[in-house]
Amino acid sequence: MSQFDYDLFVIGAGSGGVRAGRLAAASGARVAVAEEYRVGGTCVIRGCVPKKFMVYASEFPHYAHIAEGYGWSASEATFEWSRFREAKDREIARLSGLYVANLTRSGAEILEGRAILTGANSLEVEGRGAVTAQRILVATGGRPWRPEDLPGADLAITSEEAFDLPALPERMVIVGGGFIAVEFAGIFNGLGVDVTLVYRGDQVLRGFDEDIRSHVAAEIQRRGVKLILGAHPTEIAGRPGDLQCRLSDGQVLPAGQVMLATGRKPHTRGLGLEAAGVETGPNGEIRVDAWSKTSVPSIWAVGDVTDRINLTPVAIREGAAFARTEFYGQPTRFDHEAVASAVFSQPPVGTVGLTEAEARAAYANIDIYRSRFRPMKETFYGGQEQALVKLVVDADTQRMLGCHVVGPDAPEIIQMAAVPLKLGVTKAQWDSACAVHPTLAEELVTLSEPVARSPA
């Protein structure tokens, strides 16, 4: 008989924790999964899933504008935020229920309540008391970060509250320049809110390819988002529904709502990591090795709480790799190189591999292939929205290093582009695939001449 209550105890029922718990339980292990809020985690409850629903809802006015150019008569259409919110909540509840059902079906026990580490193999669980486990997996994700030195920060919302606003404001100021800020700027702009996006840097989407950054900035402004760069809020004042956001450049922006999208931090505060001896980094992230092992042999961590690549599919792969290694005797490490990602801005972004700047820093000679153009749908009705495709290639070996797309269906396109790039395809092999015409994606295999070479 084991000296422990469980073979595995998972803290956090998000995507990574649920996948690890399901796989481990399916092996016959005794598994418990503790969740302090709702099963499903950030992605399902307050992240990418409800956000994608909001993206869909916000795109319809743009579609209606396009439809007129294609001969459809305009009709009276109104948007009811309350109806959308109710439908969104029903769908999120359904998805959360599926997570619960799948966990239970696998044999895992779900504990509703906060779990805190008290040692290398022990925890205190709200409503349950002390429990022990041979292995512990921390998968508590991340939470929005509020600048502590910003007067009036408590008057603002974060991305988590954005899903449940009682009503849409007439004007909104969104602070931040990352993908969350850019996505919500497009969402609320599309829903009819007067949106101003404020970012302290020189361009939005830091860390993305420079061509992507400038292209997206131009296109979101074309759609109606006001963009203020090189400034940051120094004070938020007023009362809910009637706020003023004072900026470092002297501007004062009136707003019904101010949203802080200034980053996220690993959700580790008060988790008991110190008591267990788990080493953390400067932002509170749990430090792990390639096998997701922490500094304590009996404790692992996956997902955003490790601050490696903060994407849902990555957390799922990390959780699966942990379970296969520990419960199936199949040593597995997730490869964090060349992971594709998307920004559901308007227009959206798909990207995989190295940016031009990263490639120039790592390789002696690179070739850049790039094309900017109006998609076919736009040219027909006189629309001005531009698409961008860009390839980064090692000039010496002709190996594909990066692929970047901005335009309709870019996230769908990049998924397929990621497969050959991950496998180390050369430019000649890439080009050997015949184009599908007429599509935006065909540009990817018809770029025959580089527009830039390095060394320049």
The size of the chain, in residues, is: 456
- What is the model's pLDDT at position 300? 98
The CATH number of residue 324's host domain is 3.50.50.60
Residue 124 lies in a domain: yes
pLDDT string in tens for the chain (456-residue length):
579 999 999 999 999 999 999 999 999 999 999 999 899 988 989 899 999 999 999 999 999 999 999 999 877 788 999 999 999 999 999 999 999 999 999 999 999 999 999 999 999 999 889 999 999 999 999 999 999 899 999 999 999 999 999 999 999 999 999 999 999 999 999 999 999 999 999 999 999 999 999 999 999 999 999 999 999 999 999 998 999 999 999 999 999 999 999 999 999 999 999 999 999 999 999 999 999 999 999 999 999 999 999 999 999 999 999 999 999 999 999 999 999 999 999 999 999 999 999 999 999 999 999 999 999 999 999 999 999 999 999 999 999 999 999 999 999 999 999 999 999 999 999 999 999 999 999 999 999 999 988 875
**Domain shared by 192 and 285, yes or no:** no
Sorted by sequence, the CB contacts under 8 Å of residue 46 that are 6+ apart come out as 159, 160, 163
Q: Is 327 annotated as a binding residue?
A: no
207 CB burial (10 A radius; 0-12, 13-18, 19+)? exposed
173 and 321 co-located in one domain:
no
Q: Domain of residue 450: give its range.
A: 341-455
Assign residue 416 the CATH number of its domain: 3.30.390.30
Q: Are 280 and 131 part of one and the same domain?
A: yes
Residue 336 counted as domain residue: no
Q: Which residue type sits at 287?
A: R
Count: domains in the chain = 3
1 within some domain:
no
Q: Among 217, 245, 262, which residue terminates a domain?
A: 262
Residue 249 shares a structural domain with residue 270: no
The reply to whether 228 and 376 lie within a common domain is no
Please check whether residues 258 and 115 belong to one and the same domain. no
The two three-digit tokens of residue 63, written as one number: 């579609």
Would residue 335 count as lying in a domain? no
Q: Which has the closest alpha carbon to 167: 92, 50, 80? A: 80
Task: Check whether residue 387 and residue 281 sit in a common domain.
Answer: no
- Residues 271, 361 within the same domain: no
Residue 177 annotated as lining a ligand binding site: yes
Q: What is the DSSP string of 148-202?
A: TTSTTGGGSB-HHHHTT-SS--SEEEEE--SHHHHHHHHHHHHTT-EEEEEESSS
Q: Is residue 126 part of a domain?
A: yes
Tell me, yes or no, whether 138 and 14 share the same domain: yes
Would 373 be classed as within a structural domain? yes
Statement to judge: residues 254 and 202 lie in one domain: yes
pLDDT at 454: 81
Shared domain for 25 and 133, answered yes or no, is yes
| Coil, strand or helix at 212 | helix
For the chain, first and last CA: distance in Å? Answer: 68
Whether residue 368 is annotated as binding a ligand: the answer is no
C-alpha to C-alpha distance for 194 and 414, rounded to whole angstroms: 31
DSSP 276-292: HT--B-TTSPBP--TT-
pLDDT at 416: 95
Q: Is 28 annotated as a binding residue?
A: no
- Which of 301, 328, 355 terminates a domain? The answer is 328
Q: Would residue 220 count as lying in a domain?
A: yes
State the pLDDT at residue 14. 93
Q: Is residue 119 marked as binding?
A: no
Q: Is 437 a catalytic residue?
A: yes
* Residue 182 known to bind ligand: yes
Q: Is 333 inside a domain boundary? A: no
The pLDDT value given to residue 76? 78
* Residue that terminates a domain, selected from 232, 262, 292: 262
Catalytic option among 215, 232, 267, 437: 437
Residue 304 annotated as binding site: yes
Q: Annotation-wise, does 176 bind a ligand?
A: yes
pTM above 0.85, yes or no: yes
pLDDT confidence of residue 453: 85
Residue 12 annotated as binding? no
What's the one-letter identity of residue 22?
R
Whether residues 40 and 92 fall in one domain? yes
Radius of gyration of the chain (CA): 24
C-alpha neighbours within 13 Å on the C-beta side of residue 282:
0
